[in-house]
Chain A
């Protein structure tokens, strides 16, 4: 249960590739915002943002190599947030 072996070391090149990916996605989200698709724009922006966030989480924050407990509880936290928002829409969408 005590885990003191050295944790996986992320190489500089891998980290840099992730940064490039993040820059590209940032450019993409800025570009897409000029194409007007109504409500769809929000969802696309959120999907791109979530992709960027996933990259940061998996590689910068090491989530790819972490314990199941952390991955499971992280997803649960996000799920709780999603439920908070969506359940409120039961109210505000139907007033």
Chain B
């Protein structure tokens, strides 16, 4: 217990191990995607056409940028520039919020267009399109949940930074929250082309 409290490397290992479980969790959904894309290639393409490529691209750039600002905030903390770190963290959280707002608009637009789980249009349409959107909602839904959790973690990090519990010497919480945020980004890096760029 004494040893572990100061073992920074051990805490990093623990966080990476947790990330592996998250990768496999989403991995199960990618397994389904792979199987269904193989079976319903043309339906997936027509489904992909219905998604808004512009919002998807903007969301991708937002997450990439926020990953940058989170990584930069860590550099800032290590260089004792706590104020810069705080601003960068805050900016990252705003990115997360914007991402979610975009998602909300995307989803409600689809709902209004009659494209939602078990909707008449999907049930009576081509089965592959139904599966495409089933996968879309499942993956982006689970991903959105992780964006929320990640944003909360960044928020707690910001709070600890302000209270000076995160310092240049001791910042494992921020580092691990950052890893979680990057994972959220990583998943989207794959979701984006697989759903929005199937043309």
A: which residues have CB within 8 A of B?
Answer: 2-4, 6-7, 9-12, 15-16, 18-19, 22-23, 26, 29-30, 33-34, 36, 39, 41-42, 45-46, 48-49, 52-53, 56-57, 59-61, 66-67, 69-70, 73-74, 77-78, 80-81, 84-85, 88-89, 92-93
With A19-B64, A59-B71 given, can you name 11 additional A-B contacts, CB distance below 8 Å? A15-B72, A18-B68, A19-B68, A49-B189, A49-B190, A53-B190, A56-B189, A60-B70, A60-B182, A67-B9, A85-B31
Contact B53 A30 (CB under 8 A): yes
CB-CB nearest in chain A for B169: A6
Contact A3 B8 (CB under 8 A): yes
Which residues from B are CB-within-8-Å of A7? 8
The listed residue (A41, A42, A53) touching B186 by CB distance below 8 A is: A53
Contact B71 A30 (CB under 8 A): no
Known: A74-B16, A81-B24. A15 touches B71 (CB 8 A): yes
Which residues from A are CB-within-8-Å of B53? 30
Give CA–CA (A30, B182) in the complex, Å.
21
Give min CB distance, A39 to chain B, whole Å.
8
Give CA–CA (A84, B28) in the complex, Å.
8
Contact B199 A33 (CB under 8 A): yes
Which residues from A are CB-within-8-Å of B102? none
Give CA–CA (A77, B60) in the complex, Å.
24
From 62 to 87 in chain B, residues with beta carbon under 8 angstroms from any chain A beta carbon are: 64-65, 67-68, 70-72, 74-75, 78-79
Which residues from A are CB-within-8-Å of B71? 10, 15, 59-60
Known: A48-B193, A74-B20. A12 touches B72 (CB 8 A): yes
CB-CB nearest in chain B for A35: B199
Contact A11 B64 (CB under 8 A): no
Please, could you name 25 A-B residue pairs with CB atoms under 8 Å apart, sorted by A?
Answer: A2-B6, A2-B7, A4-B6, A12-B72, A15-B75, A16-B68, A19-B65, A19-B67, A26-B61, A30-B57, A30-B197, A46-B190, A49-B190, A60-B68, A60-B70, A70-B12, A70-B16, A74-B16, A74-B20, A77-B24, A84-B27, A85-B31, A85-B34, A89-B38, A92-B38
Which 10 pairs from chain A and chain B are nearest by CB? A33-B197, A3-B9, A45-B193, A19-B68, A81-B27, A60-B71, A77-B20, A9-B78, A22-B64, A61-B182
Give min CB distance, B118 to chain A, whole Å.
25
Q: Binding site of B, secondary structure by majority: helix, strand, loop or mixed?
A: helix
Which residues from B are CB-within-8-Å of A26? 57, 60-61, 64
Known: A61-B179, A67-B9, A67-B13. A92 touches B39 (CB 8 A): yes
Give CA–CA (A16, B23) in the complex, Å.
26
